[in-house]
């Protein structure tokens, strides 16, 4: 059997990373199958209960046990999954103190735990000494379980603690962290005193020894490692000083760089500069069952990697013979679950889990009616009861023929209706619903009118019926009677003729409806070729000569002048016609210029062109430098191009870009003079170079070099 722990850092996002992104079953059940374990302890699921989906709460054959933070949303939270095909826990609860089990408002399970459902052996908090808060106030032990940091399951052979221990982000969190460790140690001590074995798995948030730190190789860091009180407590609790066994470290006692957590802000995972804060501890009585443990560094999706231990399927115990693990985890005399089973529950062969399981939440147990059930179409699947009349659906209706109208008289001409071979033969097949009539009407309106035969006066309709009207109009000019004949067996549907209105709009529709494509403009007409020149209504633009002749008045001829009565016959008037302006005038004017004038004009044009080119050449470098691409700056120590980052922390600098040394971080990388002594700096790793992007003046040069 394999037991695995992993700080997933948002469970739903792990599916987008290797190796889960290529799964066929891309959900939590597929993730559990891919990890190949039997018991899973996840931390920091960061899921609010109102957003918990059934695929996460009840993933196939796995039983889930979830706890949530009471104050913050999207923070903390742990969950345990158990493969019911292998074993089912006997009891399950949340928290390490037991104070939530009596709280009807604060506990996840409603109603709270009964005495028979509790695991027991809780600390006596009145007798314990707690570290006060930073401001001097007394610490409230109820706060220890209010952040959703523990799920405890009783498997008979052992009691499993799935923990997300507090991280000391600042000085105000130190009392909470130290009190949490104190309560945990006291609970484990009481369980051991009662003869129970314990396994602690999860994110302990403590580097136990210098070898578990990326800074362990630095002499100064090793000397200062145990100055933190939490590290001393953890080191004194584990063997050989204490009762707990660090299974993975005991499996690999001299293995360096066996880290399980890396700082994503520093991109420390590629260089394996991290820490080992995820552990699996057990009491000495379980050591014969332990086969070994290791870490899974090739599993991505979080800033942590999974840690697992394997247990033997059977062991030889002197005086007891062979003991099988499955028999120890699934006793025959187990107490039945107190959880109610609803009819909608999926049947299973394994025993029912404790009532704390997520499958018994009201939203997943089948007790509540879901919105999906209202749209399930249950009425269609019900069988017809005896004596109920089964009404068969009517076939698709035949469109009602649209009669034509006459323009000379108010009464229409006699219509010769040719019965269609698809005409209804019984009342049940007739058009009997408003929707059928409307569909028939719209079909008749949308279908193009067919041209009449020259040898026949009849008009054939789309459904096979014909009309003998002498005048044909479109279906848009004819109103259709949407009423149904009262006669249950009509032989002929009598059309109702309405005389069209004699207004301009009707005439426009009538004229436009005479086209061969029908009365409605089709979408294809908007993509047709434009009309030819001959069909254009817009007259062509006049030529320059014609415009001049149109604007200038017509000059009288010599004949008209001579025949004018106002002129004396003895007077002779000579009219000199000036030639119309044309290109010949400009040519003549150009020829009339002297050679000196021509040279001056050419010289002025050349000087203007030269000044323009000189101005362009002068502005070109300025514009090129303004729009030149910025180059990464060079760090001061390694003289290598830096790597850019963006500030994501809320504040005045959020969104700003800055540059750091591109070398990876590692043991002894330069954190700055205030944080690391110069003799401990390792020049093979990142230096302390920092530069805001606004101060970076290094740009590409368009002349083949680099500026800056």
pLDDT at 530: 65
Q: Is the pLDDT of residue 343 over 60?
A: yes
Q: Which long-range contacts (CB under 8 A, 24 or more apart) does 193-198 make?
A: 193/121, 194/120, 194/121, 196/121, 196/158, 196/159, 197/157, 197/158, 197/159, 197/282, 197/283, 197/285, 197/286, 198/158, 198/159, 198/160, 198/161, 198/282, 198/283
Which pLDDT tens digit goes with each residue over 585-617? 555 555 566 888 888 888 999 999 999 999 888
Distance CA 232, CA 108 (A): 34
Kind plus residue range of the DSSP H or E element containing 551: helix 544-551
Lowest mean pLDDT among 235-239, 414-418, 661-665: 414-418
Task: State mean pLDDT over 299-310.
Answer: 97
Q: Binning pLDDT at 50, 70 and 90, where does residue 678 land?
A: confident
Q: Is 203 a catalytic residue?
A: yes
Phi, psi of 333 (to 5 degrees): -95, 30
What is the model's pLDDT at position 154?
Answer: 98
Question: Using CA atoms, how far apart are residues 165 and 177, in angstroms rounded to an integer?
Answer: 7
Q: What is the pLDDT of residue 80?
A: 98
Q: Is 7 annotated as a binding residue?
A: yes
For residue 667, give the nearest of 169, 205, 219 by alpha carbon: 219
Q: Which of 279-293, 460-474, 500-514, 562-576 has the highest mean pLDDT?
A: 279-293
Domain boundaries, the chain: 2-360, 618-708
The reply, when asked if residue 585 is annotated as ligand binding, is no
Least confident of 169-173, 559-563, 607-611: 559-563
Residues 298, 295: Cα–Cα separation, whole Å: 9
Contact present, 21 and 15 (Cβ < 8 Å): yes
Known binding residue 44? Answer is yes
Which among 304, 308, 477, 670 is annotated as catalytic?
A: 304
pLDDT of the residue at 402: 44
For 423-467, how does the pLDDT look when each residue is reduced to its tens digit (9 = 90+)? 444 444 444 556 666 667 666 665 554 444 444 444 444 444 444
Least confident of 47-61, 294-308, 414-428, 666-680: 414-428
When pLDDT is averaged across residues 414-424 and rounded to a whole number, the result is 44
- Its sign, for the CA torsion 14, 20, 23, 29, is negative
Average pLDDT, the chain: 78
pLDDT (average), residues 399-421: 43
- Give the per-residue pLDDT at 640: 93
DSSP sequence for 111-125? S---GGG-------G
Q: What is the pLDDT of residue 12?
A: 93
Domain 2-360 has CATH 3.60.10.10: yes
Q: Is 416 annotated as a binding residue?
A: no
Instruction: Output the furthest CA–CA distance in the chain (Å, rounded).
Output: 163
pLDDT at 495 over 90: no
446 annotated as ligand-binding: no
Beta-bridged to residue 164, according to DSSP, are: 203
Residue 165: φ, ψ to 5°: -70, 150
Q: What is the dihedral of CA 648, 653, 655, 658, to 10 degrees?
A: -90
The Cα-based distances of 125 to 142, 185, 280, 569, 692 in angstroms read 10, 13, 26, 143, 52
pLDDT surpassing 60 at residue 649: yes
Q: How far apart are the first and last CA of the chain?
A: 62
- Say if residue 101's pLDDT is above 90: yes
pLDDT of residue 439: 67
Is 164 a known active-site residue? yes
**Range in 335-344, 404-413, 478-487 with the lowest mean pLDDT:** 404-413
Q: What's the distance, CA 145 to chain centroid?
A: 33
pLDDT at 617: 87
CA dihedral angle for residue 525, residue 529, residue 530, residue 534, rounded to 10 degrees? -120
In the chain, % of residues over pLDDT 90: 50
The edge-to-edge listing of strands for the beta sheet with 39-43 is 62-67, 78-83, 39-43, 2-7, 307-311, 290-295
Query: Considering only 100-104, 251-255, 364-368, which range has the smallest mean pLDDT?
Result: 364-368
Q: Is the CB of residue 161 less than 8 Å from the CB of residue 80?
A: no
Listed range (71-85, 181-195, 404-418) with the worst mean pLDDT: 404-418
Query: pLDDT tens-digit profile of 202-234?
Result: 999 999 999 999 887 776 677 789 999 999 999
| pLDDT value for 591 | 58
> Which residue did the predictor score with more confidence, 216 or 20?
20
- Choose, from 154, 203, 278, 310, the residue flagged as catalytic: 203
Predicted TM-score (pTM) of this structure: 0.65
Q: Supply 39's token pair.
A: 């018991």
Listed in sequence order, the residues at least 6 apart from 591 whose beta carbon sits closer than 8 Å to its beta carbon are none
Query: Which of 89-93, 365-369, 580-584 shows the lowest per-residue confidence on average (mean pLDDT)?
Result: 580-584
Q: Which residue has the higher pLDDT, 350 or 538?
A: 350
Burial class, 38, CB count within 10 angstroms (exposed 0-12 / middle 13-18 / buried 19+): buried
Strand partners, 83: 62
Taking residues 617-625, what's their average pLDDT? Answer: 80
Question: Which residue among 62, 164, 273, 669 is the active-site one?
Answer: 164
**489: confidence class by pLDDT, cuts 50, 70, 90:** very low
Residue 307: what pLDDT? 98
Which range, 88-92, 438-442, 699-703, is most confident? 88-92
Phi, psi (deg, nearest 5) at residue 327? -70, -35
Give the pLDDT of residue 632: 92
Q: List the one residue out of 299, 289, 380 whose CA is nearest residue 328.
A: 289
Where are any strands of DSSP class E within 44-90? 62-67, 78-83
């Amino acid at each position: 059997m394999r037991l695995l722990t992993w700080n997933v850092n948002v469970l739903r996002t792990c599916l987008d990373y290797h190796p889960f992104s290529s799964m066929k079953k891309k959900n939590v059940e597929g993730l559990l199958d891919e990890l190949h374990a039997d018991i899973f302890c996840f931390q920091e699921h960061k899921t609010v209960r109102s957003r918990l989906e059934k695929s996460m709460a009840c993933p196939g054959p796995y039983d889930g046990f979830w706890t949530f933070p009471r104050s913050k949303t999207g923070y903390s939270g742990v969950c345990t999954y158990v493969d019911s095909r292998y074993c089912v826990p006997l009891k399950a609860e949340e928290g390490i103190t037991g104070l939530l089990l009596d709280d009807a408002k604060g506990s996840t399970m409603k109603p709270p735990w009964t005495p028979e459902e509790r695991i027991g052996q809780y600390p006596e908090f009145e007798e314990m000494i707690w570290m006060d808060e930073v401001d001097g106030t007394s610490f409230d032990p109820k706060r220890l379980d209010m952040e959703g940091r523990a799920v405890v399951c009783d498997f008979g052979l052992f009691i499993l603690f799935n923990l997300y221990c507090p991280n000391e982000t600042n000085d105000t969190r130190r009392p909470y962290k130290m009190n949490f460790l104190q309560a945990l140690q006291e609970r484990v001590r009481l369980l051991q005193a009662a003869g129970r074995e314990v396994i602690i798995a999860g994110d302990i948030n403590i580097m136990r020894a210098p070898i578990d730190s990326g800074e362990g190789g630095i002499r100064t860091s090793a000397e200062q490692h145990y100055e933190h009180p939490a590290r001393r407590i953890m080191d004194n609790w584990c063997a050989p000083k204490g009762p707990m066994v660090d299974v993975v470290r005991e499996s690999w006692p001299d293995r360096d760089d066996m880290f399980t957590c890396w700082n994503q802000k520093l991109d420390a995972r590629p260089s394996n500069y991290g820490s080992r804060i995820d552990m699996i501890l057990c009491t000495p009585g379980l050591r014969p069952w332990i086969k070994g443990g290791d870490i899974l560094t090739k599993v991505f999706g979080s800033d942590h990697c999974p840690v697992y231990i394997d247990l033997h399927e059977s062991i030889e115990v002197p005086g007891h013979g062979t003991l099988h693990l499955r028999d120890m985890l699934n006793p025959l005399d187990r107490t039945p679950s107190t959880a109610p089973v609803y009819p909608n529950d999926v049947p299973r062969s394994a025993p029912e889990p404790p009532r704390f399981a997520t499958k018994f939440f009201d939203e997943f147990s089948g007790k509540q009616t879901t919105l999906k059930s209202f749209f399930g179409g249950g009425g269609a699947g019900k069988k017809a009861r005896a004596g109920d009349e089964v009404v068969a659906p009517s076939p698709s209706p035949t469109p009602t023929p649209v009669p034509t109208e006459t323009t000379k008289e108010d009464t229409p001409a006699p219509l010769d209706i040719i019965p269609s071979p698809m005409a209804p033969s019984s009342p049940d097949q007739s058009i009997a619903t408003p929707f059928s009539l409307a569909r028939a009407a719209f079909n008749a309106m949308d279908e193009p009118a067919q041209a009449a035969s020259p040898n026949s006066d009849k008009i054939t309709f789309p459904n096979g019926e014909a009309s003998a009207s002498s005048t044909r109009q479109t279906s848009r000019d004819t109103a259709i009677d949407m009423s149904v004949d009262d006669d249950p067996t009509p032989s002929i549907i009598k059309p109702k003729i309405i005389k069209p209105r004699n207004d301009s709009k009707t005439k426009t529709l009538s004229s436009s409806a005479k086209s061969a494509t029908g009365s409605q403009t089709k979408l294809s007409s908007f993509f047709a070729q434009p009309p030819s020149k001959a069909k254009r209504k817009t007259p062509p633009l006049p030529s320059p000569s014609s415009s001049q002749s149109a604007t200038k008045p017509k000059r009288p001829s010599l004949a008209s002048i001579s025949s004018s009565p106002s002129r004396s016959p003895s007077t002779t008037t000579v009219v000199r016609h000036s030639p119309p302006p044309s290109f010949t005038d400009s040519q003549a004017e150009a020829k009339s210029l002297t050679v000196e004038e021509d040279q001056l004009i050419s010289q002025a044009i050349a000087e203007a062109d030269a000044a323009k080119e000189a101005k362009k050449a002068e502005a070109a470098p300025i514009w090129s430098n303004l729009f030149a691409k910025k180059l990464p700056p060079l760090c001061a120590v390694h003289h290598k191009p830096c790597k850019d980052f963006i500030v994501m922390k809320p504040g005045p600098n959020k969104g700003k870009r800055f540059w750091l040394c591109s070398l990876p971080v590692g043991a002894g990388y330069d954190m700055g003079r205030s944080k690391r002594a110069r003799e401990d700096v390792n020049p093979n790793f990142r230096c302390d170079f920092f530069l805001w992007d606004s101060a970076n003046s290094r740009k590409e040069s368009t002349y083949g070099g680099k500026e800056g």
